[in-house]
Amino acid sequence: MKNMILTIFIVLAATAAVYPCSAIVLKKDSRIFLAKNFDWTYREGVIIKNLRGTSKIAYYTHSGKQARWTSQYGSVTFNQNGKEMPYGGMNEKGLVVEMLWLESTRYNTHEEKQYVNELEWIQYQLDNYKLIRSN
């Protein structure tokens, strides 16, 4: 109980000075629960249904080649910046991908490689993978 109170105090103290987002996963038996908060400066968001078999082209933001793919799986996503730019979602196979923000993150772009931006990467994973394996 003492550890729980200390943890809650630390979380409340840390969130008072910043705009964090958090995600937690709880597992019980064969059930998995995901919770996420999203403290962001934008107001409304939309839920979008993404169909399988849809041809996609990455949004052009850097020099180099835009990635192209066709979605293998349908998904439902939470978007604030428009279609194909989700902050998170779940595909028809049950794969869930969520974005957490870190202001100091830098992305390595290289002209010879195909690329997607950080939000399209979420959609790309939901479109193409039914699970993620960890070693």
- Which structure tokens are listed for 33? 């629960």
77 is written with which tokens?
A: 């996503």
CA proximity to 124, closest of 49, 56, 29, 62? 56
What is the overall mean pLDDT for the chain?
82
- Can you tell me the mean pLDDT for 94-119? 77
Q: Which runs of E-coded beta strand occur in 71-132?
A: 75-79, 86-91, 96-98, 114-115
Q: What would the mean pLDDT of 111-118 be, rounded to a whole number?
A: 75
Summarize pLDDT for 18-42 with one digit per residue, the tens.
556 778 888 889 888 888 877 666 6
Taking only the tens place, the pLDDT of each residue in 54-75 is 999 988 766 667 889 999 999 9
Please report the pLDDT score of residue 24 as a whole number. 83
Note if the pTM is more than 0.95: no
pLDDT of residue 50 exceeding 90, the answer is yes
Average pLDDT score over residue span 95-104:
81
Please indicate whether residue 133 or residue 71 has the higher confidence score (pLDDT). 71
Residue found by looking up tokens 């923000």 in the block: 101
For residue 63, the model assigns a pLDDT of 66
Q: Which secondary-structure segment (H or E) carries 58? A: none
**Tokens coding 64:** 């180099």
Answer yes or no: are the C-beta atoms of 116 and 124 closer than 8 Å: yes
